Structure 1
Amino acid sequence: MPSKKTFQRGWKSYKEYAWMKDELTPLSAKGKNTFGGWAATLVDSLDTLWIMDLKQEFWEAVQAVAMIDWAETEETACNLFETTIRHLGGLLAAYQLSNEHILLEKAVQLGDMLYTGFDTPIRLPAFWPSASLGSLSMEFTRLSQLTHDPKYHDAVSKVSSLLHQTENATVLPGMWPTFFNLKEGILTEDNTFTLGALADSLYEYLLKMHPLLGGSDSRYADMYLAAAEAIKNKLSYRPMTPNNDDIFFTGTYHVESPSWLDPEGQHLACFTGGMFALGGRFFNNQEHIDIGIKLTKGCIWAYKAFPTGIMPEIFSLVTCNTLAGCVWDEGRWQQAVADDQEGHLSLPKGFRNARVPSYILRPEAIESAFVLYRITGLEEFQNAAWDMFQAIETATSTPFGTLRSTMSPFRVSHHNGTRWKAFGLLRH
């Protein structure tokens, strides 16, 4: 299995050059701490080791995890969001697969430390980005379910209550702005709404909390479905492409006078295709599955558009006026590129710019392709995921067998990326 071999090469390099560090610097082959120094790559890869039947490596990693002291760090502050999704999530996933009790013990130790983040005057962690505040619920809730201690779920339930109370009070009802004023518990001041960085996983977590709780808390379904409608009606657009492809992307919506949609897309937002498809399956909504298909096909199209077979991190497209599509207009595209300070006619047709051309091992597009294949059974998504994997492997391999960011979607360069993201191995 090629993906397993790639993972094994990466794991071997991590073990040899960066064991117990957060990340491996893939060109200099050195360890680097970027997430508190608690072996982020190791902890976050535990479930992958188990799923790939690398049991010897798994048990070696478990022994190493048992030695982690959460009180030891060179950082002056703990990133509650990153530590929850990488470390706590990694421990809980590995425990549920292996039933190895030490993993749950370490999760409880970490959970108790993270729980102190809620010790504020309003019992909410001091976060500003909406993704950070909204992306704690699954891990904390699952920890309560496994330990039968309700305190963790109770803590994040306060966050959910605040979200539920304010979902229709924002200037875009159904969604929350990118930034919150948590000092005063105000979530409705900002006017910018996105599914990209700083907001993305909030909506994904709302959806996944519904099955995690067996549908027992209707707030999550209510909030997710309201958000999905806002995303469909305000943030989604169809790009103008030479073949009038039936694909969607999402942009950033600004509520002003007048309100407007910035069609700048982000690789990170490619998770929305899988999210809509899962939501459509959970709530028996074929329209949402169809939207998920079009969003995922959009990211697949963007991957195929560039010579490396990889889409850029941040880019902008020329939009159609409606989701029904539009006829290609060469002159309109050229004018849009000319009007864009970062535009260039060497870009694939349809793209206005590739403002951030790098690829930093984002897994969202290939993840959505996998989800759509499992939900629809259509081989085109399986084939697309395989094409993505091959392109990523070609662009990001180093002599150490590791993966790292590459800086251009136009050509493969083995000298630009300097960091091996902790989630790089998990892609496989």
Structure 2
Amino acid sequence: MPSNRRGRPLTTAFFLLIAAYIFLFQLPFIHFPWSHLRKPIPVINHDARKDNIHLTDARQIYPIKSTIELPTSPSPLPRVQHEFEPESRFERKERLHRQRVVKQEFLHAWNGYKDHAWLRDEVNPVSGKFEDSFSGWGATLVDSLDTLIIMGLDDELELALEALEQIDFTTTFSSEVNVFEIIIRYMGGLIGAHDLTNGKYPILLQKAQELGDMIYHAFDTHNHMPQMRWKWSRSAIGQSIEPMRNTNLAELGSLTLEFTRLTQLTGNPKYYDAVQRITNELDKSQMKTSIPGLWPVSIDAMRLDFTGSEFSIGGCADSTYEYLPKEHIILGAQTDQYEKMYIRALDAIKHNLLFRAVTQDEEKKILFTGDLKVDRRHGNIIQHSSDHLKCFLGGTVGLAAKIFNRPQDLTIARGLTDGCIWAYDSMPTGIMPESFLYTPCEEMDECPWDEKRWYESILRQPLKQKKDLQEAQQIIASEGVPPGMGTAQNTAYKLRPEALESVFYMYRITGDKSYQDAAWRMFQNIEKSTRTKYGHSSIEDVRDPISNMEDKMESYWLAETLKYLYLIFSEPDVVSLDEYVLSTEAHPFKRTSGFI
């Protein structure tokens, strides 16, 4: 029989070519220099009102008479990041694998947005429809710009920058503009992308200033406090506006970082002046509230009335406290105002809101904060309730402990971060609920597991009879309550980043690689429960492994949650905390000073 030696190499070569083709072109996260991405087609909102009003030549009704100038001589600050030792070959391989998987999930969500909601605010990840939740300027596109840069998705970035040309920040179909959300998502996204690329793309700063000039009109009130749900068309046609009688603390106090950085980049002092006026009012009132050191959740911005009775560091309050150390950093420690305000606030939090939770893991000091309502007649009422939005606090306390040289506070930072990790690990899906009750310890230092105390916290009353015990056990069984946790007040998961945010900070600050493992567990569980055809969706019930989906994917999923995950598995010098300060929407702003 004649030999078939020539045929075999040809067959082998053919199969090798096929294998190479599959490998090269099926990887979703690799872009090759010869590739040409198809331009996405902008999705038109046919229900939007067609207005011809543009806010371009509006006059100031209450012009500023004397501008507060930006400090311009920054000082070095203490180092924030841990000095990491070289990783082993195995550690590097595992870290890069995790990073690639996170990037793949980002691209899955980004492509869902790009294909079905381009230049709209959000894609509905289950139905493939879209929403315009934030004035219709393409919130997901702008919010994700710096994530594209960090992940090295240069081709996608070019598409986004080209689309940015089509966004007109001088007009919107929305009757009201949510000033807080617009600043943190849009302005933050533009500035973060500008700073990461060292000003390579002029359009980023150009659009940030265009937006800043528009939003600046929301501050044109009799006391220069912004109208947070701004009726922008009134300003456009020369009518006056007033601050809101019911303004939440987070919205009013969380504009400093973005506006300060915009002044630093443009040289125009008006942006810094606008937010520093708010800070000065917060400073004056801080020790005069019902709980000195803390501000009430609701503020009358029209009358500058800080006499509200409800106090929390959760939703509607959170980022005001977060921005105290961060504004100190972006200003390069040129004033001690923000440091003093932070220390007052933390002392008040420790005295009034901080609790250790009763858990079966007695070795860890699991910490949460509660909510307080001042009642002059019956005494203050504490609710031992935690929510996902409060999970930012561990990272903020850790960052401030380094910046303000308060190493004793790192124990609190770790306890708060561990509390949120515990809440994730305790649930059947491995995902923390939006809000839940917990069982407080009697003492901070000694807290043995106490099943009776747990039952009583479930019932919210002492165990007096056998039927009380049976009732508590029935609630635990029917509602799937894990040991130590109380009932869930809101069982949803809204793709929130705050727990992973604190994990990121504590990993970068301490170098403890157990935080990487915790982040990987959290990510895998989130991905398993939330992945959809067009992205990832909020879910209704973290107790249910096959929970209903809410068909909602906010822009912060790509701007924050997946970014924090990617950075946890990146080299420590990628967006180093000694070079950047991250906004409340995780946008990296270049620091004006180095470190000691």
- TM bucket by the smaller chain? over 0.9
Name the structure 1 match of 2:196: 97
Higher relative contact order (CA 8 A, sep 6+): 2
Name the structure 1 match of 2:76: none
Residues in 1 aligned to 2:149 and 2:446: alpha-carbon distance in whole angstroms: 45
Residues in 1 aligned to 2:140 and 2:475: alpha-carbon distance in whole angstroms: 38
CA-CA distance at 1:289 after TM superposition: 1.2
1:363 maps to which of 472, 493, 497: 497
The answer to whether structure 1 residue 327 and structure 2 residue 458 are counterparts is no
The answer to whether structure 1 residue 58 and structure 2 residue 157 are counterparts is yes
The answer to whether the Cα contact below 8 Å between 1:238 and 1:322 also exists between their aligned partners in 2 is yes
SS of residue in 2 equivalent to 1:311 = coil
Q: How does 1:246-257 map to 2 (within 5 A)?
A: 246-256=365-375, 257=378
Residues in 2 aligned to 1:174 and 1:126: alpha-carbon distance in whole angstroms: 25
Name the structure 1 match of 2:120: 21
Between 1:250-259 and 1:118-127, the stretch displaced more is: 250-259
The answer to whether structure 1 residue 159 and structure 2 residue 258 are counterparts is no
1:216 maps to which of 317, 331, 334: 334
Name the structure 1 match of 2:216: 115
Residues in 1 aligned to 2:171 and 2:274: alpha-carbon distance in whole angstroms: 25
Residues in 2 aligned to 1:243 and 1:209: alpha-carbon distance in whole angstroms: 36
The answer to whether the Cα contact below 8 Å between 1:238 and 1:247 also exists between their aligned partners in 2 is yes
Q: CA RMSD in A?
A: 1.5
Name the structure 1 match of 2:103: 4
SS of residue in 2 equivalent to 1:168 = helix
Any unmatched runs of 5+ in structure 2?
1-99, 229-246, 462-470, 563-596
Residues in 1 aligned to 2:445 and 2:205: alpha-carbon distance in whole angstroms: 50
Give the number of the structure whose alpha-carbon radius of gyration is greater. 2
Give the counterpart letter for 1:126 in structure 2: Q
Between 1:135-144 and 1:410-419, the stretch displaced more is: 410-419
Cα displacement string for residues 159-207 of structure 1 (whole angstroms, at most 9, x for unaligned residues):
01101111111111111110111111122x1121111110000000111
SS of residue in 2 equivalent to 1:413 = coil
CA-CA distance at 1:243 after TM superposition: 2.9
Between 1:409-418 and 1:147-156, the stretch displaced more is: 409-418
The answer to whether structure 1 residue 173 and structure 2 residue 292 are counterparts is yes
Give the counterpart letter for 2:175 in structure 1: T
The answer to whether the Cα contact below 8 Å between 1:404 and 1:418 also exists between their aligned partners in 2 is yes
SS of residue in 2 equivalent to 1:345 = helix
Give the counterpart letter for 1:47 in structure 2: D
Q: How does 1:197-208 map to 2 (within 5 A)?
A: 197-208=315-326
CA-CA distance at 1:331 after TM superposition: 2.2
Between 1:236-245 and 1:37-46, the stretch displaced more is: 236-245
The answer to whether the Cα contact below 8 Å between 1:296 and 1:369 also exists between their aligned partners in 2 is yes
The answer to whether structure 1 residue 407 and structure 2 residue 508 are counterparts is no
Residues in 1 aligned to 2:218 and 2:356: alpha-carbon distance in whole angstroms: 41
Cα displacement string for residues 301-330 of structure 1 (whole angstroms, at most 9, x for unaligned residues):
010001111010010011112212422222
2:414 maps to which of 293, 315, 320: 293
The answer to whether the Cα contact below 8 Å between 2:434 and 2:491 also exists between their aligned partners in 1 is yes
Residues in 2 aligned to 1:55 and 1:416: alpha-carbon distance in whole angstroms: 32
The answer to whether structure 1 residue 239 and structure 2 residue 370 are counterparts is no
Greater share of residues in helix: 1
Between 1:287-296 and 1:415-424, the stretch displaced more is: 415-424
CA-CA distance at 1:231 after TM superposition: 1.1
Name the structure 1 match of 2:555: 422
Any unmatched runs of 5+ in structure 1?
none
Give the counterpart letter for 2:483 in structure 1: K
The answer to whether structure 1 residue 303 and structure 2 residue 421 are counterparts is no
Name the structure 2 match of 1:281: 402
Aligned residue pairs: how many? 426
Residues in 2 aligned to 1:49 and 1:15: alpha-carbon distance in whole angstroms: 13
The answer to whether structure 1 residue 135 and structure 2 residue 135 are counterparts is no
Residues in 2 aligned to 1:415 and 1:260: alpha-carbon distance in whole angstroms: 35
Matched residues, percent identical?
Answer: 41
Residues in 2 aligned to 1:320 and 1:180: alpha-carbon distance in whole angstroms: 32
Residues in 1 aligned to 2:353 and 2:406: alpha-carbon distance in whole angstroms: 19
CA-CA distance at 1:411 after TM superposition: 2.1
CA-CA distance at 1:126 after TM superposition: 2.8
Between 1:306-315 and 1:345-354, the stretch displaced more is: 345-354
Name the structure 2 match of 1:35: 134
SS of residue in 1 equivalent to 2:222 = coil
Cα displacement string for residues 321-357 of structure 1 (whole angstroms, at most 9, x for unaligned residues):
2212422222222232134899931300112210100
CA-CA distance at 1:414 after TM superposition: 5.7
- TM-score for the superposition, normalised by structure 2: 0.70
The answer to whether structure 1 residue 338 and structure 2 residue 338 are counterparts is no
SS of residue in 2 equivalent to 1:249 = strand
The answer to whether the Cα contact below 8 Å between 2:170 and 2:211 also exists between their aligned partners in 1 is no
Between 1:325-334 and 1:136-145, the stretch displaced more is: 325-334
1:69 maps to which of 146, 168, 179: 168
Residues in 2 aligned to 1:176 and 1:132: alpha-carbon distance in whole angstroms: 13
The answer to whether the Cα contact below 8 Å between 1:238 and 1:325 also exists between their aligned partners in 2 is no
Name the structure 2 match of 1:125: 226
Give the counterpart letter for 2:499 in structure 1: A
The answer to whether the Cα contact below 8 Å between 2:530 and 2:549 also exists between their aligned partners in 1 is no
Between 1:239-248 and 1:105-114, the stretch displaced more is: 239-248
Name the structure 1 match of 2:520: 386
Residues in 1 aligned to 2:170 and 2:400: alpha-carbon distance in whole angstroms: 39
